[in-house]
Amino acid sequence: SDHLTFSLKPGTFPSGMTISSDGLVTWNGPGQFVPSGDIHFTVEVTDGTTSVEKMYTIAYTAVNNPIQFSESDGIIQSFTETTGLNYQVIALDPDSTLSYSIVSAPTGVTIDSTTGLIEWSPGQDVASGDKSIQIEISDQNGDHSITPTLRFHYIAVNNPIQFSEPDGIIQSFNETTGLNYQVNASDPEGHTLQYSIVSPPTGVTIDSTGLITWNPAQDVASGEKSIQISISDGVNVITPTLRFHYTAINDAPTFGDGNTNTFDTLRVGEQWNHTFEIADTDSSVFRQPTYNISPALEGMSINNQGRLTWTPNETGTYSITITVNDGTHSISKEVSLTVSDSNADRSDIPPVIEDHSDTNSSAGHTDHSLTPLIAIGTVAGVAGLLVGAMGIYKGFRTGTQVFPEAIELGQLGNGDGTDPVFDAWMNE
């Protein structure tokens, strides 16, 4: 018999299929996933002279093997805000091509659907700590998928507080407007910033939002004012100094409560003093107030504390104007001064005697209805003398008092409407 030779007709058999010289067909499958079904191939046979061929069909049943992936326990990798995350997922499928997707992950995490490369650049507001990323790995035909959770450790970098310290004067304000200035600072990681005052002028405050407020007292002088503040994110702290310009306003002085406009206790020949008080809260910042009298009566003066001094020499009522000037404002006060005789209603002052010797009387009378021998006026500090037709007597005093074997004095009234008058009679 002739020798036969067997072969597979090119283009008719699947990859990997072989046939021996004696006609044994061998095939180990497609090497990757191929759905189950009929597999066709053609065998050619020749004896060297003639050849024949025949197509064969075999029933193929596919077997989809599981995805090969080893899920790690614990932390796979640590990374920082600077380096970011770059992690290659390693998985195999002997039968098929794999695809990758994110199931749950922090914002910004991505995975390459074909290669399985995970990438993440966390925002500055992401805190340090363990971060979990759950992924899904699927084979091409969808028969197999796994959803492993991968764990990483993230180390945040605490970036400096973002604040641009202004040069020079930031803002000008005055006593009326006060200071309201919003500090503009931010934290790259989104941490809440804490504000406080380091070295302020008295009364300056700053709230939790960084708003600086200040209503200076009236004794604060104009000029540049520096306010040092502290800004903290819990780790980083900065202490910038902010500069402002303040303009004080000179408020008008006012006459103090309790001052009156009428004074009627002045006496001829007696020094009178009174202090005209004023309220001038910003006198320490601006010029000390000065006082002026108009008209300035003879002997009248007033000092820079508002103390008026005067020794009047005549009775009467006098009108003057007190003017106070603080360099910007002037205020005035009309004042009425009433001066009385120094002896009015004062029986305790030694008298000066007026001679009424033309009035006659004789010794030994005790009847007080007799014509007075002496009319007595009084001036302080002058020793008493009694002068009359009966001679001169010494040693008496004013008031109702009997002197030894001399004269009896009796106060009868005001002879001229102002001064007390005393009449004297001879005792028995």
Show the domains of the chain with their CATH numbers: 5-60 (no CATH), 68-155 (2.60.40.10), 162-247 (2.60.40.10), 254-340 (2.60.40.10)
CA 258 to CA 73: how far, in whole Å? Answer: 89
CA 64 to CA 265: how far, in whole Å? Answer: 125
- Per residue of the chain (428 residues), give pLDDT as tens: 678 899 999 999 999 999 998 899 999 887 666 777 899 999 999 988 899 999 999 998 877 788 999 888 889 999 998 899 999 999 998 778 899 999 999 999 999 999 999 999 998 778 889 999 999 999 987 778 999 999 999 998 888 999 988 888 999 999 889 999 999 999 987 889 999 999 889 999 999 999 999 999 877 888 999 999 999 998 899 999 999 999 888 777 888 755 678 898 899 999 999 988 887 765 555 567 888 999 989 999 999 888 999 999 999 999 999 898 887 888 888 999 999 997 655 544 444 444 433 333 333 333 333 333 343 433 333 334 443 333 333 344 344 443 333 333 333 333 444 344 344 433 33
Residue with tokens 């002496």, as numbered in its chain: 374
CA 77 to CA 81: how far, in whole Å? Answer: 13
CA 290 to CA 287: how far, in whole Å? Answer: 9
Q: Are strands 25-26 and 18-19 parallel, antiparallel or unpaired?
A: antiparallel
Residue 254 CA, distance from chain mean position: 31
CA 195 to CA 190: how far, in whole Å? Answer: 15
CA 117 to CA 100: how far, in whole Å? Answer: 9
Neighbours of 111 (CB within 10 A): 22
HSE-CB at 216 with a 13 A cutoff on CA atoms is 25
Q: Which of 278, 245, 244 is nearest to 259 (CA)?
A: 278
Question: What are the residues whose beta carbons fall under 8 Å from the beta carbon of 98, sequence distance 6 or more?
Answer: 67, 91, 92, 116, 137, 138, 139, 140
Question: What are the residues whose beta carbons fall under 8 Å from the beta carbon of 99, sequence distance 6 or more?
Answer: 113, 114, 137, 138, 140
What DSSP letter does each residue of 147-168 carry, written as one string? --EEEEEEE---PPPB--PPPS
- What does the DSSP 8-state code read for residue 122? -
Contact yes or no for 343/377 (Cβ under 8 A): yes
Residues 263/264/265/266 CA torsion (nearest 10 deg): 90
Percent of the chain with pLDDT over 90: 48
What DSSP letter does each residue of 101-116 carry, written as one string? EEEE-STT-EE-TTT-
Neighbours of 236 (CB within 10 A): 15
CA 200 to CA 215: how far, in whole Å? Answer: 12
Q: Which tokens hold the place of 368?
A: 């007080």
Contact yes or no for 332/299 (Cβ under 8 A): no
Backbone region of residue 389 per phi and psi (left: phi > 0; alpha: psi in -120 to 50; beta: other values): alpha
- Residue 184: what pLDDT? 94
Contact yes or no for 422/398 (Cβ under 8 A): yes
Residue 277 CA, distance from chain mean position: 36
Look up the pTM and report it.
0.44
CA 112 to CA 114: how far, in whole Å? Answer: 5
Contact yes or no for 335/322 (Cβ under 8 A): yes
Tens of pLDDT along 89-129? 999 987 788 999 999 999 999 999 999 999 999 987 788 89
* Single-letter code of the amino acid located at 200: P
* Cα R_g (the chain), whole angstroms: 61
